[in-house]
Structure 1
Amino acid sequence: MVPLLKSSKQFRIAYYSQSLNGELPVDSPEDFISLKRICKQKELQKYHLHLVESDQLKENLSKYWNIPKTAILNLSSDHVFLTIRSLFLNWQQCKITIRKKRPRLAFYSPVVPDRSGVAFYSTQTFPALSEYVEIDLYTPTKVTDSLCGIERAFPLSEAPYYSSRYDSILSVVGNSPFHKQIIQYLTKHGSACLAHDARICHIMRDIYGCETFAERTSQLLQRTVTPTEIDEWFLHQEKLPLLYFEDVVPYAQPMFVHSRQLQKQMRERYQLQAKYLPFCVYRDWSEENLTEKAKLTTREALGLPKDALIFISLGMMQADKGVFECLEGLHWLHRQGIDAHLYFIGSENLNQQQENFYRTLKRLKLDKSIHITGKWTTDEVWDQFLVAADFGIQLRKHGFGGVSGCLSDCILAGLPTIANEDLAEAIESPEYVKRVSDQFDGEEIGKAMLAFISDSAQNLPRKSIHRDNYLKKHCFENYALQLVEGLGLASIKAA
């Protein structure tokens, strides 16, 4: 009995033998019915082709391909084997060739509908990447709909690490709970790694547990560190002494990063030469949103103040994203006699600093000028504020070359935006992003606001040569090609 892996639309399987006198191509079946039809073909009947379902499949994987049964327990029941059995053929006489049109990639990542920037980014990566490789997705996400660019989607498992099916495995590592098992597999087996976030302190503490995480940190810093001290770092992440990639780096083969600064951090901290991939603009967007008419219509639909200037800050409200400095900046602007409102678009995540935030809001008399959605925002509302706003503000205190999908969205919308130096540089921001120092305070933010207003930046056309050039460079077509080449896979598009 000769086991053959179920083929898919990217495979053609040819059987060679003396009896067949050459090559007989069998077009790739996609489901059980197609396989049955092939088995009944007259010219193949003498070879007694038959189907072996899930249990037998596992036996064959274990027996012929040396894959431990424990590694294939999660294979779905629709996996089948096509086998050839004949009195006249044996393993030596039957030669099997499998010709791939594209390399096959096992891709570990959360995807939509999970609520994370990584999930959205990975989902948007697949269409362009699938031009070069066949993608099997392994994900913690419960995938209910088909995803463009994906061949098949599976729950997380270690199966790809034990299989010769894949030409490469890519693990996307981020700082949210979605990545816990992905990191555990990576640090057990090793694979290519894409570091989406510039630090992974939260997820590593989740993996270790608070006490053991403090012990591990003490070991790395060669001094005693308590869980209380770590809690303080997490509240003020610019104080973090570590990025916490220490456990990941030895198993990253290779490591990809989204900013030059993080590439430098990897080199200086870990003596690792990471591969740089420019962070892409990944939001779907209509060019019609760039018109003045669209802006006025959307402002009216949202009920925004007619004569006031509108600033927006996108994403989770957190202290390390400069929310207190934004309050101080708006207050400074009001003292210059300028009527302006600030909208925080996204969920509130102030934790212990929530009370202080609202106390500051009241002290500065900004109750009527600060607006908070306070929850996860729909794509429709998110886009509306990008269209309706005059200016954006996107700040990060932690540095390290972390990227921001929110700043990327502002750039896509052609929105004049204030960002701190490290964040702006991380995604190579165009000139309509005004940079402030990484040690920004409220007054510096207020003066940057005033500078935009003095230049009448809110009246400039959203569509510009600077925006067009940025979108051309930071697109998934370029990104996919660089990723495939970085993985050492053939960079030839499928016909």
Structure 2
Amino acid sequence: MAWINAGPYDDDATLNLRTDNHQDEIGRVRAALRLRLKLSENQSPTPVTGSRILFDARSLQTATFGARGIGRFALAALQSARENATDSELVLLVDKTLEKLPEDLAGGCEQITRVTRENVAQFSLLIQPSPMTATAAPLVPLLKSDIHKIAVVFDFIPMHYPTIYLSNVAARAEYAAGLDALRNYNDFICISKLAEDEVRSWLGKESIAKITTSVAWPKDVFPQGLSTETAGTKTGPIVVMTGDEPRKNTYGALAAIGAATAGQDEERNVVVLGMAGQGTRVHHWSIAAAMRPGEAQTLGRISDAEMHELLATAELVVVASFDEGLSLPVIEALRAGAPVVASDIPAHRELIGSSGYLAPAGDIKAMARAIRFHRGKASTYLQQVKQLSRHQHEDLESTIATKISARGNNVENIADNTAAEFASMGQPVVTTERLSIGFATPWEPQRSGVADFSAATVRELAKLADVTVYTTSGGLVEDSIKHANIEDVIANGHDHDVFVSVVGNSHFHIPFIEVLNSIDAVAIAHDTRMVEYYMAMRGQGGVEQVMVRGQEKRSLDPALDDQIDDMRLLENAGFWEIANQSTMLILHAPSAAPRIAAETGVTPRLLPFANQRVPNTAQITQEMRDEARQRLNFNPDKIHLGTFGFVDLRTKLTDVVVEAAAWLSQWGYNISLHLAGSASDTDTKALLKRAEEAGIQECEITGFLTDEQFRDYLLAVDLGVQLRVSPLLGVSGPLSDLAAFGTTSIASSGLAIDVDTPDFVDRLPDDVSSLMVAEAIEKRILNPIPHEIREEQRLAYLEAKSPTRYAEALLELLKEAAGGDR
């Protein structure tokens, strides 16, 4: 996309350098290997002393699993756990970057994001309804303990088809870590006899004596005493029950149906379930399967009741998958009274036996013969449902209930631990000592305004508390401040009283956002949107998911491209994950805080934006400004306008500044325009061409400036111009710098509000034209503010917005986050 290519986020060399192998394939491998090492450590198991139950509810937080498959089993297990344990006994493990658990599922249960060595002793039972869905990293201390650990096992399909599911090193390493974690469970509830046999074979003879295995289904999967009154000749559609992955063999099913029904006079009536949103692909497959256009219909997402109603009219259901752990489509078809033709795989043989209605998944001719013979046959259905009714399994709900009640005398002998007692485990002990703070941030000389800000404020914070700075290889922290690499925290955690991670909308912040996945941390956000960050890291689909997470509206309108091109249309700032992961979210932008609170459900705490670029002298004199102009070779006969920071036409209205300078030139003012910052090659060419065509004789784009050069420009320009297309696009550090140097300026109102500028910064509406900007500049040129007044206001601003004041206010918030006064 043009907009991302033009920005600072998509330079491949820079991005690869700054990711430092985070969240890319190498980063995923390293994380998986770290997890495997932790799981392999020999340590004394934590004895069971608690009575609480931990239920991993992460698989219920995403619509990917829905109410079928994993989601169906997880939901049944959770409902049983809540029926057989009190909410104070049951603790839910959640991922705060995902959707929040519905209240009817979570009830009054406490929700945590990880188990620590300090609180592991509180538990007596772990229920894991989906051990291979999410990383086991938050559970490691519990997996290494002596408590009873239950896992619901679905299948080992990725090992059956490694070239498809484990096609790269990262996927293989992550799956291996999942298997390592699975070995730490001692009770396996399997969804099929096939899965149970695989578990026992995979664990080996030595482990079988130490574990318990069983097969269980939720009660509603196949109710006892299923009526067969619906059996009979059906004239409805042939239904293909499938899914959007090659293993489901959708085309094979369509091809077999096409062959089986070839030559018939009537139009085919084929309905495809499980390919919602993929109608075009199914249409082309059906044409390739010799069907006429429109004979195969792809349904969108439908409810269970709607699916049952459809299947009840079907003359045949075709399930052609190459592999399954438990074939719910076969069960659902028979529940509705429809006969089934299915692939001849172990999962299908387990349910409906071996007969002519099974055919090899890759044999189109054999499957076509089966379809011709069995479509609409009541006798086929009766044979299949009779076989299914013989399947040996327990009720999942009853099995979970039994496991909970069998926790042993431990529950009776140990007093209940209240939620408050549990919450206090692992929290810092309140003392009168200095607070120990871990501070993860970009740092000088990295080319980021955040690096400058953190360096200025953390130096002051280090005078008030024991601070350790964690940064990346490009940050050079002075020896007077303790420092280490952020990789140390990602790999090993920390032992500080409180940890702070500085997040922002660029590649500099990749590891500082990643660390939120593994530790509890306060997040300080310097940007008020994260859209470009997630686009660079996850692509368009990934950023759209973040933007709709937690929202009633489940799709973007207008399209994302249009919103990025005109940031005034931005529907969502993309803060859901960061706001919900952090223990406290701190912003510097009063204008953005209400919106982020509404979008995330988290109320940000506000700190006044501190000025990090303080002049080197107590006073700013006209002589100092003249000297800076001489160093920069400014023409003394011109009016010098400056706009500061990275040039971004989409958000900072740099083109409007150029056009305003053009108006002033046409009005007879001798203008020299300075864009003090770096720009993409495309924007540089476009802006300089526009300036030349508009008759601006002097216009420069400086590129990246050293701190000394930047200070000279702040002093040398006659008037600064800082604009934004919207007040919700972040705090302006350069505007704060202009205020600190006493330079007359004009700025968008939202920026001025967030920075709390002095009166010598004129405020413009956020929606402005180049003519309005030119008129505002002319007004200030004709009516200059006396130096003495600006100097008085400048000094008051510096006092109120000093890094020292900021550090003091931040320390109070961090004491609160640490859990006590210090």
Normalising by the residue count of structure 1, what TM-score does the alignment of the two structures yield? 0.74
Alignment partner, residue 575 of structure 2: 245
1:426 Cα shift? 0.6
Alignment of 1:184-195 (within 5 A): 184-195=514-525
1:242 Cα shift? 0.9
1:313 Cα shift? 0.9
The answer on 1:480 being equivalent to 2:807 is yes
Alignment partner, residue 421 of structure 1: 749
Amino acid at match of 1:105: I
Alignment partner, residue 431 of structure 1: 759
Alignment partner, residue 288 of structure 2: none
- Secondary structure of the equivalent of 2:591? helix
Alignment of 1:290-329 (within 5 A): 290-319=620-649, 320-329=651-660
From 683, 693, 698, the counterpart of 1:363: 693
1:98 Cα shift? 13
Distance 2:483 2:514 in 1: 22
The answer on 1:341 being equivalent to 2:668 is no
Indicate how the Cα distance of structure 1 residues 162 and 361 shifts in structure 2: closer, same or farther if over 3 A, else same: closer
Amino acid at match of 2:731: V
1:60 Cα shift? 11
Amino acid at match of 2:485: F
Amino acid at match of 2:461: L
1:290 Cα shift? 1.4
Does the Cα contact within 8 Å between 1:187 and 1:247 map onto a contact in 2?
Answer: no
Per-residue CA deviations over 1:14-67 (Å, capped at 9, x if unaligned) read xxxxxxxxxxxxxxxxxxxxxxxxxxxxxxxxxxxxxxxxxxxx9899999959
Per-residue CA deviations over 1:98-155 (Å, capped at 9, x if unaligned) read 988412111111111211011111111122111222112222244445255x223223
From 119, 141, 153, the counterpart of 2:484: 153
1:442 Cα shift? 0.3
Distance 2:483 2:518 in 1: 24
Indicate how the Cα distance of structure 1 residues 63 and 392 shifts in structure 2: closer, same or farther if over 3 A, else same: farther
Distance 1:380 1:433 in 2: 23
The answer on 1:116 being equivalent to 2:448 is yes
1:231 Cα shift? 3.7
Per-residue CA deviations over 1:261-303 (Å, capped at 9, x if unaligned) read 1222233333322111100010142236711112222222322
Indicate how the Cα distance of structure 1 residues 98 and 169 shifts in structure 2: closer, same or farther if over 3 A, else same: closer
Distance 1:187 1:101 in 2: 29
Indicate how the Cα distance of structure 1 residues 152 and 356 shifts in structure 2: closer, same or farther if over 3 A, else same: closer
Alignment of 1:28-427 (within 5 A): 66=117, 101-146=433-478, 148=480, 150-158=481-489, 162-163=493-494, 165-217=495-547, 222-225=553-556, 229-287=559-617, 290-319=620-649, 320-349=651-680, 351=682, 353=683, 356-366=686-696, 368-373=697-702, 375-400=703-728, 402-427=730-755
- Secondary structure of the equivalent of 1:247? helix
Identity of matched residues, %: 24
Normalising by the residue count of structure 2, what TM-score does the alignment of the two structures yield? 0.46
1:354 Cα shift? 5.1
Per-residue CA deviations over 1:381-418 (Å, capped at 9, x if unaligned) read 11111122111111111321621110011011100011
Does the Cα contact within 8 Å between 2:473 and 2:485 map onto a contact in 1?
Answer: no
Alignment partner, residue 74 of structure 1: none
Distance 1:236 1:408 in 2: 25
- Secondary structure of the equivalent of 1:307? coil
Does the Cα contact within 8 Å between 2:543 and 2:574 map onto a contact in 1?
Answer: no
Amino acid at match of 1:192: V
Does the Cα contact within 8 Å between 2:573 and 2:596 map onto a contact in 1?
Answer: no
Q: Whose radius of gyration is greater, 1 or 2?
A: 2
Distance 2:45 2:526 in 1: 38
Distance 2:543 2:596 in 1: 21
Structure 1 residue ranges without an equivalent (≥5): 1-57, 72-96
Does the Cα contact within 8 Å between 2:486 and 2:511 map onto a contact in 1?
Answer: no
Alignment partner, residue 159 of structure 2: none
1:236 Cα shift? 2.7
Distance 2:648 2:449 in 1: 16
Distance 1:279 1:460 in 2: 25
Does the Cα contact within 8 Å between 2:527 and 2:731 map onto a contact in 1?
Answer: yes
Computed over aligned residues only, the root mean square deviation of the Cα atoms, in angstroms, reads 3.3
Per-residue CA deviations over 1:181-205 (Å, capped at 9, x if unaligned) read 2212214443211111111111122
Higher relative contact order structure (alpha carbons within 8 Å, sequence separation ≥ 6): 1
1:475 Cα shift? 1.2
From 791, 813, 817, the counterpart of 1:464: 791
- Secondary structure of the equivalent of 2:445? coil
Distance 1:438 1:117 in 2: 23
Amino acid at match of 1:408: S
Does the Cα contact within 8 Å between 1:414 and 1:462 map onto a contact in 2?
Answer: no
Distance 2:658 2:508 in 1: 32
Distance 2:659 2:457 in 1: 38
Q: How many residues align?
A: 404
Alignment partner, residue 23 of structure 1: none
Indicate how the Cα distance of structure 1 residues 425 and 218 shifts in structure 2: closer, same or farther if over 3 A, else same: closer
Indicate how the Cα distance of structure 1 residues 260 and 161 shifts in structure 2: closer, same or farther if over 3 A, else same: farther
Does the Cα contact within 8 Å between 2:665 and 2:695 map onto a contact in 1?
Answer: no
Does the Cα contact within 8 Å between 2:662 and 2:691 map onto a contact in 1?
Answer: no
Does the Cα contact within 8 Å between 1:401 and 1:422 map onto a contact in 2?
Answer: no
Does the Cα contact within 8 Å between 1:161 and 1:189 map onto a contact in 2?
Answer: no
Distance 2:607 2:517 in 1: 22
Per-residue CA deviations over 1:301-347 (Å, capped at 9, x if unaligned) read 32211111111111111112111111221122123222121111110
Per-residue CA deviations over 1:248-272 (Å, capped at 9, x if unaligned) read 2211211111121122223333332
Per-residue CA deviations over 1:155-209 (Å, capped at 9, x if unaligned) read 324359744x211111111111121222122144432111111111111223323
Does the Cα contact within 8 Å between 2:444 and 2:455 map onto a contact in 1?
Answer: yes
Does the Cα contact within 8 Å between 2:523 and 2:583 map onto a contact in 1?
Answer: yes
1:357 Cα shift? 2.9
From 426, 440, 464, the counterpart of 2:768: 440
- Secondary structure of the equivalent of 1:419? strand
Indicate how the Cα distance of structure 1 residues 338 and 491 shifts in structure 2: closer, same or farther if over 3 A, else same: farther
Q: Which moved more, 1:356-365 or 1:331-340?
A: 356-365
Does the Cα contact within 8 Å between 1:391 and 1:417 map onto a contact in 2?
Answer: yes
Indicate how the Cα distance of structure 1 residues 100 and 354 shifts in structure 2: closer, same or farther if over 3 A, else same: same
Amino acid at match of 2:733: G
1:425 Cα shift? 0.4
